[in-house]
Amino acid sequence: MLKMLGIGMVIATSSAIGFSMSKDLEKRVVQLTELKRMFVMLQGEIKYGKTPLAEGFGKVGQRSGPLFQGFLQYLSEEMEKRDGRSLSRIFEEGVDLKLEHCYLAKEDLEQLKTVGSHLGYLDIDMQLRNIDLYLEQLNENCIQARQNYQNKSRVYHCLGVMGGLFLAIILI
């Protein structure tokens, strides 16, 4: 009886691991989409509102989800301090501090840091072009992440269940 209970727990646990890995892929797609939306709003603030970056980060942060809200508020507050640090450095620190527990891939975070390194010292026109370029990269990343999710999600589900069944057979 205990052996059967243990086998059931092994199958359930390995299945949960497979579903969890699948969910992580889905969360990356959601966060990339939210990041894209955030930069579209920032682009609008700069283009139509002629808003300075520090203020733009704050305004967009108020309308963003909890993950990026903290990141954008951090950028806004640190830029307002005017302590001599460049936006590139503030952006990099913000990514490292506020986005360390997100589901974005390392490549996504590196691209985000690169955008931050180009935003601070450019005029409005170049900032908008830089954001346009980043939005194109984000589009590609979103498409790739969606395809990755569609291809691997079912595999993770099946591997989790099959791995649990395999372990159960070994334990018997």
How do the domains of the chain map onto residue ranges?
14-171
* C-alpha separations of 3 from 6, 7, 9, 11, 155 in Å: 5, 6, 10, 12, 28
Render pLDDT for 121-167 as a digit per residue (tens, 0 to 9): 778 888 899 999 999 999 999 999 999 999 999 999 899 999 988 98
Q: State if pTM tops 0.85.
A: yes
Q: Could you tell me if 56 and 46 are in contact, meaning their C-beta atoms sit under 8 angstroms apart?
A: yes
Integer Cα distance of 123 and 129 in angstroms: 10
From the list 88, 81, 143, the residue with the least C-alpha distance to 113 is 88
The token pair at 123 is 């005029």
Q: How does pLDDT run across 16-74, given as a tens digit for each residue?
A: 999 999 999 999 999 999 999 999 999 999 999 888 888 999 999 999 988 899 999 99
